[in-house]
Amino acid sequence: MAKNTQTPTLKILPLGGLHEIGKNTCVFEYDDEILLLDAGLAFPTDDMHGVNVVLPDMTYLRENREKIKGMVVTHGHEDHIGGIAYHLKQFDIPIIYGPRLAMALLRDKLEEAGMLERTNLQTVSPREMVRLGKSFVVEFIRNTHSIADSYCLAIHTPLGVVMHSGDFKIDHTPIDGEFFDLQKVAEYGEKGVLCLLSDSTNAEVPGITPSEASVIPNLDRVFSQAEGRLMVTTFASSVHRVNIILSLAQKHQRKVAVVGRSMLNVIAHARKLGYIKCPDNLFVPLKAARNLPDQQQLILTTGSQGEPLAAMTRISKGEHPQIKIRQGDTVVFSANPIPGNTIAVVNTIDRLMMQGANVIYGKHQGIHVSGHASQEEHKMLLALTRPKFFVPVHGEHRMLVKHSQMAQAQGIPSENIVIVNNGDVIELTGDRIRVAGQVPSGIELVDQAGIVHESTMAERQQMAEDGLVTVAAALSKTGTLLAYPEVHCRGVVMTIQPKLLEELIVRTIENFLTERWSEFTHGSNGSTEVSWNALQKELESSLQRLIKRELQSSPMVLLMLQTDTPIELDQVPQSISVASSTPTPRKKVVLTKTPEPKVKAKPEKKVVTTAEPSGQPVSATKVYRRSRKRSTTSVSS
């Protein structure tokens, strides 16, 4: 018998974080074992109506859930741990290892989602090694980043060591005194690193990223010059920055009122773990702060990225119930906009200025530094690790290209470097690296109700662009109109008179019933039955074509029908959901094309069939208003 001479391979599958900023998620697979590295999220763009978070497509992990041995986490930022609670609803992760702060933040997320029992959270210390399955042993190596407790990972596999940089910069004067463990990194370089996967976020930026400590004198100057109230916004997870702000508040004898749930959570955990050290009496409730002189107040808040529901955004719009901007306030943005947020941030700044605030922002102020390495730090990591193969990760395409060029300049052959997309399968052997295929990638959109399907997003986009037309019509069992149909338009640009459009719609319904009613009726046991689902779809399509032709646009069309013929529930097809709000004999049947009852931005297409106990039809107006009351959608013109 011929022996199996197949060369063993390690597969690396990045599911997120490539050609983008956010949702960093990576899979390592050897034989029948899978190790997960981080599971982050991203935030929606302006055209993702009603979406709260964006996740990577996890189809591959759902299909291979039995192979998952555990997860390792590099640090506690949302783009690295924010997706874990969502994923645990779809597949189990037996154990998750990570830094103390990241695990504390993750525990809160899992408790809130009711997912804490689905996994086992374990904290690690610098240079600690953990085993996951038979194929993977991981050592955690301290690095420096904008959040405390951040690590590089040395992943020992049967083929050799794969190093993952995590998010990093090389800060020689870290705020917490925890230095990048370059000695351990160099030791791995001496022994031999098979492959390096490295953060590319600032690969376009020349030089060295300044130390976090460099913002202290600049923030100190701003604090000393502020004569009235002082408001500061930054990333809640930037523990080092928050620590600096609190220390300066003590120095300038200001009491701190913290606004924003995420800011409160991070400060609480960071104080408990010793990353933030300050007395309890530094903090005061927001209501108590209002009783202090302006020059003794500091309001520390979320909203540095112009997030719609964040405290600083609401303050700028005059919508915060307790904080109103007044002349003499100083507002400090100790953060730069991340890609995609610039417009939201500058709009927030404009609104604050128009209300009389002195807003301090921008790179020239020196009140923010990045948490990611610049080019000289990338070169240093490449020089220390001396990897045989290299994969740039965590960045947009131009960043990945620039990083690969630096690696070639450091002596790594171009054939040993791959620039990949989300979902690409990197196949690694002892002497070769290549892209060997692709698994499902893409994104999954989540709102408050759950996963938002592609068809639902298309409908939301359609309504956002062209508006909504609703038509309510009452039909007899013989296919004639019982009342004049009601037509309502919301958010629709009218190119003809509304009355004319209404007449055209009514005429279309009448012609449809006259010419095609027989297509949707059939006899059974001496009685006539109507295929309401098919009737609704066809009539709605006819109305859509009419409206598109007359208005030269494509608004969402919602057709609601009512009949005087009672329908027995056992005659309703499986695709029809039944709704009943009262214990009376009245029965309502709702035909739903996409059954997502909590969708916020788009009403569903429905047929409503209602009969009173007396057999007399309810008026079309009555059913229409009742249907609108049940809807969760509010569309204004």
DSSP state of 369: -
CA distance 7 to 78: 38
In this structure, the answer to whether residues 440 and 458 fall within a common structural domain is no
> Would you give the distance in Å from CA 85 to the centre of its chain?
12
Q: Which domain holds residue 194?
A: 10-207+370-447
Look at residue 523 and tell me if it is in a domain.
no
In this structure, the answer to whether residues 123 and 79 fall within a common structural domain is yes
Q: Letter for the amino acid at 592?
A: T
CA distance 318 to 609: 45
Give residue 78's region: left, alpha or beta (phi > 0; psi -120 to 50). alpha
What pLDDT is stored for residue 5 in this prediction? 55
Residue numbers in the known binding site are 368-372
In this structure, the answer to whether residues 129 and 236 fall within a common structural domain is no
Look at residue 346 and tell me if it is in a domain.
yes
In this structure, the answer to whether residues 287 and 237 fall within a common structural domain is yes
Q: Letter for the amino acid at 289?
A: A
Question: The tokens 């154990």 sit on which residue?
Answer: 95
Which residues have a Cβ under 8 Å from the Cβ of 295 and sit 6 or more positions away? 226, 227, 228, 229, 254
In this structure, the answer to whether residues 45 and 189 fall within a common structural domain is yes
DSSP strands (E only) in 448-533: 450-452, 468-475, 486-490, 521-524, 527-530
Mapped onto helix, strand or coil, the DSSP state of residue 244 is: helix
Residue 600 belongs to a domain with what CATH number?
3.10.20.580
What pLDDT is stored for residue 324 in this prediction? 95
In this structure, the answer to whether residues 496 and 620 fall within a common structural domain is yes
SS (H, E, C) 143-203: EECCCCCEEEEEEEECCEEEEECCCCECCCCCCCCCCCCHHHHHHHHHHCCCEEEEECCCC
Q: Taking the chain, what is the end-to-end CA distance rounded to the nearest angstrom?
A: 77
Asked which of 413, 428, 447 is the last residue of a domain, the reply is 447
Look at residue 400 and tell me if it is in a domain.
yes
Look at residue 99 and tell me if it is in a domain.
yes
As for how many domains the chain has, the answer is: 3
Residue numbers in the known binding site for substrate are 368-372
pLDDT, averaged per 10 consecutive residues of the chain (637 residues), comes to: 68 92 93 96 74 85 96 95 92 96 95 93 98 97 96 97 97 95 98 97 96 97 96 94 97 96 94 94 94 96 90 95 94 89 93 96 94 97 98 94 97 97 95 94 75 75 85 87 89 88 91 89 75 88 91 89 62 36 34 39 39 36 33 31
Contact 345, 363 (CB under 8 A): no
Look at residue 2 and tell me if it is in a domain.
no
In this structure, the answer to whether residues 331 and 417 fall within a common structural domain is no
Residue among 245, 157, 146 at smallest CA distance from 201: 146
- The structure tokens listed for 130 are 């953990």
Residue 178 belongs to a domain with what CATH number?
3.60.15.10
In this structure, the answer to whether residues 467 and 614 fall within a common structural domain is yes
Look at residue 5 and tell me if it is in a domain.
no
Among positive and negative, which fits the CA dihedral 239, 243, 249, 255? positive
Residue 343 belongs to a domain with what CATH number?
3.40.50.10710
In this structure, the answer to whether residues 64 and 103 fall within a common structural domain is yes
In this structure, the answer to whether residues 153 and 116 fall within a common structural domain is yes
Residue among 38, 39, 59, 42 at smallest CA distance from 51: 42
What pLDDT is stored for residue 480 in this prediction? 85
What pLDDT is stored for residue 97 in this prediction? 98
The continuous run of DSSP H or E covering 503 comes out as helix 498-516
In this structure, the answer to whether residues 459 and 575 fall within a common structural domain is yes
Mapped onto helix, strand or coil, the DSSP state of residue 412 is: coil
Asked which of 365, 387, 419 is the last residue of a domain, the reply is 365
Look at residue 223 and tell me if it is in a domain.
yes
In this structure, the answer to whether residues 191 and 285 fall within a common structural domain is no
Asked which of 415, 447, 479 is the last residue of a domain, the reply is 447
